Structure 1
Amino acid sequence: MEEYQGVDVFLSVVEPWLDEHAEVVREALSPLAVFGGWKRTEYEFGDPLETAYALSRVSDALIYKLQPLLPPGSETPWAHDIHEPERWPHINRDQYLTAFARLGMAPIGNIAFEPFFHEVVHVEQDEHPQAPIEITGTVWPGLMFGELLFSRTGVTVRAGTRHLVAGIADKSLLHDVFMRRYRETFDGSLGWGHNSQWKTDFRRDYLTDAAFHFDVDEDLDSDRSILGEPRMLTLSERSDLVQYRCLTRPLQDPAAWDSACPGGRLMVSRRPS
């Protein structure tokens, strides 16, 4: 896709690839579809977590030009310099959903805002601080693979500052995501060589009848940073960071800003529907 110079990447590249590989990829991912259905017992290159990660990179490329541009005056994210994504070809929403349906994915429907399902693209600040988060528009569709979240729906929202702060929830570093057009991101592949980046694991979040399960393969103590130093985040801040994959409001301790990163699995009970 990155090298395609024609006018219809879906018909010329994506669809022929699906004809040849969709069944194999769907079968390779199938162990991940159910919560608790697969766990790595010994390392094998290209196992389900690495296959899912590689496919998520394809997804990021295909939805890239559905997204808004970086805000004026923003620094160019490092990942953009490396990959020159503005040269990537474009497909439309229907083509995207068609492609991933052939891989066993189902679109996330029109539901009320939930950080498990929704990635915040833009925040319109409500004048009432306690105003709940309301979706005002959809930027790209999200996908489920059985109980596994494959990708979140990109949305614009309106919210009070008690929940989300404009300029933070929509502009702070987005973790466990390879590439976005409108903001800086970071995942395990960035900073590695051309080959070792494909040993990156897909972050697994699951939806069951009882709960949302976030980052289920994460073994780090949620009270510690990667380097073993205290995070200096409150319990609420840590919970939001894992669920939203970014900071959403000013931190109680501003000194924690630069070192704040998700760590530690999290289970959040589902609200009654």
Structure 2
Amino acid sequence: MSKLDFLLEELDTFHRRSAAIAYENDCLVHFNDIMQLPSGEQVRVTDMLNDGDAVCKLAQRYADGKDVEKNIGYALQLWQHAAEFGNSNAQYALGIQYNQGEHFEKNLVLAFTFFELAAKQKHPAALYSAGLCLENGTGVLEDMVKAVAFFQESADLEYAQAVFKIAELFETGKIIESNPKKAFSLYKIAADVHHIAQAKFKVAYMYEHGIGVAQQFKEAVVYYDRCYLPESYFRLGLMHKKGLGTMENLQTARGNFECAVQVGHVEAMHELELLSTPAEYEIESEHADVFWCMFHDIDRYDGESIWEDVILKKWEKFKDAGQYYSELKNRKCVYKPWPPTTWFELDAFFHAARANESLISLLHPANPRFQRTNFTLDRYISLFEHVGFDIHWPAQFHPFHCEVIEVEQTEGNDVEIVETLWPEIMLGNMMFSRAGVRVRAPRHLLTKGIADRHCLYWCYARDLRTSSCHESDSDSIAFRRDFDLGDRYAYNVDGGSKFEITDLTNPFEADFVDSDMSVEERISLLRYRCAVNVEYPNFESFWPYEDYFEELK
């Protein structure tokens, strides 16, 4: 394609509103290139190049990779070109680049220079950024008076962060005279109009303590509930605990404290311990104990009528436990696309999982008790439906949904389910127990004798497999939460008992962790919960319990 054709295609593509930019050897078309075009095209292309807004929009497309291949180098050249013509958006973009030093050599003086150029043209974000530079003495001498002027001008242009900043200055009395009423008024604008979470928290706190506004506990509860910040969950927990602005509700208070604890709020952890009285913990334990007792009863039972003698005797208790698991199933997500949980609740899941493994064992043909008891697949399903879990039968093989029980080696490139011995059990979108399947698979995907016999992690015991490693350490086999998030699967979201999560989705973090396994092997181990192609002789040295991974569907 000739240079002229490329230019004309760009002009058509961007409807004569984007910059007519062509690239030859990764460079912009220069003036000499334009002069070689026919005179009519020279005028048209020159006009387009002089359209700073169009050039800046095209730069942003390359920076974001929107409808074009992402190329930050092109974006920077285009921003520089537009900035030379005085485009404030381009000047602000270059200020950000020089301030961050990600693609240019970091130069705080140049960053402020570009912010100030854009600020002179009333660019709201540039006014705010220039104000920050002046406040902190970044790239320019500190000048608090001029900084406030920039912040105020940006706020007058309704720039959200500037509105919050001016409110903060009025609250603290830093630089300008303290004025709690003005601070509250501006915080409320930042909260209600611009939806800044920290501003919502400030409004709630001022309502709670009567700062700059009449004390109104009810309004404080409303705004705390909208923040979704660790401290707001803690404050909301206290208000539910004390019955301030809302009815006293220890269960709701506890739920809020738990949300704060999930992100390491120390005071919330203390409050949670105070609420975990022996009576409340006994309720938690009761739901865990019904499964824990069943696990031990099945293990000790030597008769044939296990359904009547063990399971039906606990039927009413299972029904009560169902209400508990229903609350966990319907719990709202907070910071992440899966709901928060406590160690008490993970412990309850762990006990239920151990009981489930005993029941699965009774359905496994390799177990000597398979033919001796009257426990059937239908009864297995009816038990978990009675407790409120969801039963699914996977139509296609996927390691999120399926546990490999036996492999029949075949040719091809697909794994085919031959028989499903038991279904998968889910609680909402959380995987509780994978379906047990016999499959046909090629050796390069699943190797017979490995995929169906290797140690199964996050499992206490399974017939025909090596016992789960580290089984003497309860933390290592604690319940693992996997979620079907609709567009992706999330594996081991709690990342082990130490909260030292290794996100295998992040190549840097994955490579940083010392391990004898490659990232690909660790991801495979996380997805299948066992080796599938390579028999690891030292499998007990592997520690996958702190790995976390998200897989797009």
TM-score normalised according to structure 2 size: 0.39
Following the alignment from structure 1 to structure 2, what is the Cα–Cα distance between the partners of residues 247 and 56? 21
Q: Does residue 120 in structure 1 map to residue 404 in structure 2?
A: yes
Following the alignment from structure 2 to structure 1, what is the Cα–Cα distance between the partners of residues 320 and 451? 38
Following the alignment from structure 1 to structure 2, what is the Cα–Cα distance between the partners of residues 178 and 256? 19
- 2:432 is aligned to 150
- 1:205 is aligned to 482
- One-letter identity of the residue aligned with 2:404: V
Could you list the runs of 5+ residues in structure 2 that have no partner in the other structure?
Answer: 1-296, 331-336, 505-511
Q: Does residue 10 in structure 1 map to residue 307 in structure 2?
A: yes
Match of 1:53 among 350, 370, 377: 350
**Greater helix percent: which structure?**
2
Count of matched residue positions in the alignment of Structure 1 and Structure 2: 238
State the shift of 1:111 in Å: 1.4
- 1:79 is aligned to none
Cα–Cα, structure 1 residues 199 and 122, in superposed 2: closer, same or farther, change >3 Å?
closer
Cα–Cα, structure 1 residues 108 and 185, in superposed 2: closer, same or farther, change >3 Å?
farther
State the shift of 1:60 in Å: 1.0
Q: Does residue 235 in structure 1 map to residue 531 in structure 2?
A: no
Match of 1:38 among 340, 343, 363: 340
- One-letter identity of the residue aligned with 2:522: R
- 2:451 is aligned to 169
State the shift of 1:229 in Å: 7.4
State the shift of 1:154 in Å: 0.6
Sequence identity percentage:
26
Map Cα deviations across residues 213-262 of structure 1 (whole Å, 9 max, x no partner): 11011034367xxxx972232222111100100011127xx687553342
- 1:67 is aligned to 364
Could you list the runs of 5+ residues in structure 1 that have no partner in the other structure?
Answer: 71-83
Cα–Cα, structure 1 residues 187 and 207, in superposed 2: closer, same or farther, change >3 Å?
farther
Match of 2:472 among 191, 201, 207: 191
- 2:502 is aligned to 221
State the shift of 1:4 in Å: 3.1
8 Å CA contact 2:393–2:435 kept in 1: the answer is no
- 1:140 is aligned to 422
Q: Does residue 108 in structure 1 map to residue 397 in structure 2?
A: no
8 Å CA contact 2:458–2:476 kept in 1: the answer is no
Following the alignment from structure 1 to structure 2, what is the Cα–Cα distance between the partners of residues 126 and 199? 35
State the shift of 1:69 in Å: 2.5
State the shift of 1:6 in Å: 3.9
Is the partner of 2:309 in helix, strand or coil? helix
Cα–Cα, structure 1 residues 157 and 144, in superposed 2: closer, same or farther, change >3 Å?
same
Following the alignment from structure 1 to structure 2, what is the Cα–Cα distance between the partners of residues 65 and 23? 22
8 Å CA contact 2:409–2:441 kept in 1: the answer is yes
Please identify the structure whose Cα radius of gyration is greater.
Answer: 2
8 Å CA contact 2:394–2:435 kept in 1: the answer is no
State the shift of 1:89 in Å: 5.1
- 2:320 is aligned to 24
State the shift of 1:267 in Å: 0.7
- One-letter identity of the residue aligned with 2:518: T
State the shift of 1:54 in Å: 0.6
State the shift of 1:171 in Å: 1.1
State the shift of 1:126 in Å: 1.3
Following the alignment from structure 2 to structure 1, what is the Cα–Cα distance between the partners of residues 467 and 441? 23
* Structure having greater relative contact order (Cα 8 Å, sep ≥ 6): 1
**Greater strand percent: which structure?**
1
- 1:73 is aligned to none
Cα–Cα, structure 1 residues 29 and 60, in superposed 2: closer, same or farther, change >3 Å?
same
